[in-house]
Amino acid sequence: MSNATTAYFEDFPEESKVIHSAFWSSFIALTIGGLFGLIQALHRTDVFRFMDSADYYTVLTAHGVLLALTFTIFFLVGLFTWAVTTSLDRGMVDLRFTWGWYGLMVLGTILAAVPILAGFTDSIDMSASVLFTFYAPLEGHPLFYVGLVLFVVGSWLAGVDWFRTWWAWKQDNPDERIPLPTFMVLTTTLMWYLATLGVAVAILAFILPWTLGLVDGINPLLTRTLFWFFGHPVVYFWLLPAYMMWYIMLPKFAGGKLFSDPLARVVFVLFLILSVPTGIHHQYLDPGIAEGFKFIAMTNTMFLLLPSLLTAFTVVASMEHGARQRGGSGYLGWLKALPWRDPVFTGMSLAGLMFAAAGFSGMINAGMNINYLVHNTFWVVGHFHLTVGTAVALTFMAASYWFIPQLTGKRLWNRSVALVQVLLWFIGMTFMSNAMHRGGLFSIPRRTAEPQYEEFAFEAGVGSVAELDLQVALGGTLLFLSLVLFLANMVVTVLGDRAESGSIPANTYADTLSGSEDAPLILDNLKLWTTIAVVLVVFAYTLPILSVIQDGGLFGYEINGFPVSIAPFLPAELPASLETVTAALPEIEVIP
């Protein structure tokens, strides 16, 4: 572990500036995305509406992109830069290169955000109301896709930076084991490189040429499959930084040590090899993929329960060790000895508790037969608000109460406000996610501004739709209030005076009860685990993708993006009976 006796900004002043900038980029995205989330909650529940329902989808797109990509990944690159420099006890190889990838990510964010936000006005001839998943035949302005590409390339270069720094350290320490935080960074980055190949191919080879008019056709199922090649492992790209904090920081704040370094390494190796071959479980209802391929994806997904269960055991055991070091006793009495008045510890602990609940709803999503009941319902929205919306977001906010003083040398403005903030987030998400899960069980749809239909009423098994709407609106309001408190604390902290020398806690992370010396050497063989990951991906995706191409063609058929009539969705040559039926149908305008 790090043996530093000084704060991070004192040891790494230049790296502190990069990380601080990345964190504030994350906070800005969180602010805008959180505001859009409140607007969605109030509009969808019909509590307060000030815009047309057509604009709801622009809000929904901005909410998803800014929170699921920009907020999470900007925080991640800052956190991973801290982890590498702290655990290797050396600065980045070239700060100009570091600032370069950060600048590229900022540029990509701006380019993607411009067409999204332009959708609110008719005076600018561009829009990208294509939602976070940007499925064809939804079509956004080419600038949106260019922005996404630059943002991802920036994250790739960040990974190169971390590997360069580790390799430079390795030359000076050839016989040393990879420090645990750096090991976590490298395995997560390798998973990210593999996962983003799918979305890179989808955008560069198919979607961007289609939106630029270079090709006339697109195969929606192919690009959808390539998106989910990336779309499920990106969940772990959000989660693994939170896992890192639970492993190396929670035990420290609890007053103890990490239970097992080897188990932590095993968990990150398992995520590297198992995360990517699972995306097809998001496509159980896609008719163009054979049931056998879906069954394979389900099996792969179920294996991912193992690293999550290992994490639950290791983190809770580490917290118990800390509590007993603080005088806790009894089977459950040790819980009272934990530092619940510390907003950093409490926020991370509550985030972990919410993730346990998300694991149960995730098992429902992963099972083929049960998934059919909740697919594309409000249940799914409730699930990912427990994962990225709480396990990730709450961990990142709680960790910021420790990181910002480390990066700036300024004391946290108000720990009591911070404690209220994390509790308020937990309560707000409890209300909102509970209502979303329950609503999904009786088929209330997701991704629509108008979930109620004329002459139709959803039958709630317990309570009523009105009660669920109230919970969603109340939960969304509490979450936004929590976000305001968080931002106020961050702003006032940064604007405050520099703390006295030595008053900021030392930049350290948790020591271990069982250290790296107890871990088999093979765990550090990144080439082996990457090779296995690639083989599993080839096994899981080669035949499904070839089957999709065989059925629909590499570029599908000629199709125009939304809004269009229903005609382009149909093959050029139809059976005579089908032509008769479609000729009798009125032309339907489809609006995203």
Going by C-alpha positions, the residue among 307, 306, 337 that lies closest to residue 321 is 337
Comparing 585 with 439, the larger pLDDT belongs to: 439
CA distance 229 to 196: 8
The predicted pLDDT at position 9 comes to: 93
The predicted pLDDT at position 350 comes to: 96
What per-residue string of b and e applies to 456-487 under the rule 16 or more CB within 10 Å gives b?
A: eeeebeeeebeebbbbbbbbbbbbbbbbebbb
Number of other residues whose CB lies within 10 A of the CB of residue 314: 23
For range 311-332, the mean pLDDT = 90
The predicted pLDDT at position 553 comes to: 86
Q: Would the pLDDT of 7 be above 70?
A: yes
Q: Tens digit of pLDDT for each residue in 178-227?
A: 999 999 999 999 999 999 999 999 999 999 999 998 998 999 999 999 99
For range 425-436, the mean pLDDT = 95
The predicted pLDDT at position 573 comes to: 47
The predicted pLDDT at position 453 comes to: 76
pLDDT band for position 42 (50/70/90)? very high
Q: Would the pLDDT of 58 be above 80?
A: yes
What whole-number percentage of the chain has pLDDT above 70?
A: 94
Active site residues: 232, 236, 383-385, 446-447
Q: Would the pLDDT of 559 be above 90?
A: no
Going by C-alpha positions, the residue among 196, 174, 172, 181 that lies closest to residue 81 is 181
The burial class, CB within 10 Å (0-12 / 13-18 / 19+), for 31 is middle
Mean pLDDT for all residues in the chain: 89
Q: Would the pLDDT of 567 be above 50?
A: no
SS3 content of the chain, % helix, strand, coil (to 5): 70, 0, 30
- The amino acid at 21: S
The predicted pLDDT at position 105 comes to: 97
CA distance 213 to 116: 20
The predicted pLDDT at position 168 comes to: 96
- 3-state SS assignment for residue 182: helix
The predicted pLDDT at position 582 comes to: 41
Going by C-alpha positions, the residue among 243, 103, 256 that lies closest to residue 187 is 243
Q: Would the pLDDT of 301 be above 50?
A: yes
Written as six digits, the tokens of 311 are 């994490």
Number of other residues whose CB lies within 10 A of the CB of residue 316: 16
The predicted pLDDT at position 587 comes to: 45
Q: Which residues contact 456 (CB under 8 A, 6 or more apart)?
A: none
Query: Do residues 118 and 124 make contact, with C-beta atoms less than 8 angstroms apart?
Result: yes
Domain 177-339+525-557: CATH superfamily is Cytochrome c oxidase-like, subunit I domain (1.20.210.10)
For range 142-155, the mean pLDDT = 96
Phi, psi (degrees; rounded to nearest 5) at 558:
-60, 130
CA distance 185 to 240: 9
For range 510-532, the mean pLDDT = 92
Q: Would the pLDDT of 386 be above 50?
A: yes
For range 144-151, the mean pLDDT = 96
What whole-number percentage of the chain has pLDDT above 90?
A: 68
Written as six digits, the tokens of 212 are 């630029």
The predicted pLDDT at position 408 comes to: 94
CA distance 102 to 347: 28
The predicted pLDDT at position 565 comes to: 32
Cis check: omega of the bond before 115, within 30 degrees of 0: no
The predicted pLDDT at position 464 comes to: 85
Question: The pTM is what?
Answer: 0.92
For range 151-174, the mean pLDDT = 96
Domain range list for the chain = 1-151, 177-339+525-557, 353-408+412-495
Going by C-alpha positions, the residue among 354, 399, 358 that lies closest to residue 26 is 399
Q: How many helices (H) and strands (E) does the chain have?
A: 22, 2
Number of other residues whose CB lies within 10 A of the CB of residue 98: 26
Q: Got the DSSP string for 570-585?
A: S-SS--HHHHHHHHHS
The predicted pLDDT at position 124 comes to: 83
The predicted pLDDT at position 167 comes to: 96
Query: Do residues 444 and 472 make contact, with C-beta atoms less than 8 angstroms apart?
Result: no
Going by C-alpha positions, the residue among 307, 316, 313 that lies closest to residue 267 is 307
Written as six digits, the tokens of 341 are 């008045």
